[in-house]
Structure 1
């Protein structure tokens, strides 16, 4: 019963979020205006606002939120650490640094098809650093991995802030907005940059969902049940890093979604399985979508970065989980 109510609530929130995302903004639209847009009877400016600006931003928010949420789910399962998150572990920071260097010094603020690959390269570098500093007697422990991730995240973030000083004045405002978590990818091109990764990676993860359930039981149990531990962990690790990297490359530097969404989904379903994985993805999309909506209306003039809204929710949630884990 709890699962059915949970799915209904999430579906309702998703529908409400989609509608609000299309009508809320600098130029507000009414529900009647939105209906006329889809009936092709609205003005050309209203159709431009909905189809060319808000609809791509809506899709980017949902897909990036889903990518970050699933990435956090995978990291928590692989490391057996409920506090694992691509933002906390430095994965987002690695992607952010390489994206900053590319956009700030080479691309003049314009996106390209290379952007997700550049972000992935930075994330894999960060992952390698976390693994190197986190290993202990050739075995990773959850607490040591978390501490290594926080240290790597702090170091890369410092380099990123130093990099903002070196960018040109024309790109400085764009880079600082991106670092704050502003969803800057608001065109159809950005949607097409994200879409192939989501279409390819999410079904692959679901197809191997049974292996993910076995990993949750522990490494020794997984080996005993015939799972090729290192190959399976490597597969899910690569998927997690890629999902986080491409999401950050388009949506900006956003943390904590990968921490919050899996916990909420697990509280509803009661265990980790494919249903929990799908729910995690939907919750992540909803979190980023509503954060983006709030970011548009919370200030009287202009808009706040969606990443700030997520952090305002995620930081206290992280502290509560940390305190609960230590008790």
Structure 2
């Protein structure tokens, strides 16, 4: 039974975060090479803008804003699941190699397979999922022992090693590729939001529509998995089965996000931690907050990054890393 005070606090935080997200989105929509003042932004939304203003808002800014929010949510939820099933506060799809596995698969697909414009957008999340799943399976197997089960510390260490090795493999893959394709992979590695168009949003939405409700459905299982294994077994939880199912969900969320945003790390680490510090460790309470925090963090990083240096700006992945790396070191020292 969740206390009414906590539920009230959760609602207040959710409303505050939603307001912050909307304000940041409005500011982001107005900033850029072709700026839009607030009054012109309102007029353009109402259909009274010029052709240039409507093109800038609806074809460039709005798709990018939506894709960053959705991808940030997906990464935050993936991190929350991974931290729950591993009982490791340092678990994150970018840190433990899942994102890199997706990146290698996407690189192979982009460099060596024939690409059709119509299906390319919708195949990317699937290809990323296959690569991320293979990477996650290998990391899981190397972190698991029959005697002690899944070892959280080993999981992070193995994952970091995988992430470095797969990033090196991506560099080897692009060393002999065409210049245009090399540019794409380099942008992906840096976490440059490249899939900023309406078809990419349509490709990402089904994954979120299915996996967000699924995670809420599994919230009690995640709460139990966060306890010791004897307690979870004692209340009838099939630990390995639940871990595998939830791991698949976390992999799918991370792969769908990074397939359109590039290699973004630390969102899945920071968002759940901040949410837990606000309302506690119960997944029913902190996951909705983590979703909004993840969306806001990536939107904020992308907004600052693309406006700080003209004309190309700084990739969102670099901006997130500038914030997330010190936070990761703080958690490592604290835990």
TM-score by length of 1: 0.95
How far apart, CA to CA, are the structure 2 residues paired with 1:258 and 1:49? Answer: 30
- Are 2:122 and 1:113 equivalent residues in the alignment? yes
In 1, are the aligned partners of 2:13 and 2:289 still within 8 Å (CA)?
A: no
How far apart, CA to CA, are the structure 2 residues paired with 1:99 and 1:66? Answer: 21
- Are 2:57 and 1:57 equivalent residues in the alignment? no
Backbone CA RMSD of aligned residues: 1.6
Aligned residue for 1:247? 257
How far apart, CA to CA, are the structure 2 residues paired with 1:107 and 1:262? Answer: 39
How far apart, CA to CA, are the structure 2 residues paired with 1:35 and 1:192? Answer: 25
**Structure 1 residue aligned with 2:49, among 30, 39, 42?**
42
How has the CA–CA distance of structure 1 residues 298 and 107 changed in structure 2, closer, same or farther, with 3 Å as cutoff?
Answer: farther
- Are 2:73 and 1:66 equivalent residues in the alignment? yes
Q: Which runs of 5+ in 2 are unaligned?
A: 1-7
Aligned residue for 1:33? 40
In 2, are the aligned partners of 1:89 and 1:146 still within 8 Å (CA)?
A: yes
Q: Which runs of 5+ in 1 are unaligned?
A: none
Aligned residue for 1:277? 287
In 2, are the aligned partners of 1:129 and 1:152 still within 8 Å (CA)?
A: no
TM-fit CA distance, 1:48: 1.3
Aligned residue for 1:131? 140
Aligned to 1:166, the other structure's residue is in SS state coil
Q: What is the number of residues matched between the two proteins?
A: 325
Query: Can you list the C-alpha shifts for 1:17-64, whole angstroms capped at 9, x where unaligned?
Result: 110221112211111111111111110121111112211111110110
How has the CA–CA distance of structure 1 residues 218 and 177 changed in structure 2, closer, same or farther, with 3 Å as cutoff?
Answer: same
Aligned residue for 2:248? 238
- Are 2:228 and 1:218 equivalent residues in the alignment? yes
TM-fit CA distance, 1:324: 0.5
How has the CA–CA distance of structure 1 residues 206 and 4 changed in structure 2, closer, same or farther, with 3 Å as cutoff?
Answer: closer
Aligned to 2:195, the other structure's residue is in SS state coil
Aligned residue for 1:170? 180
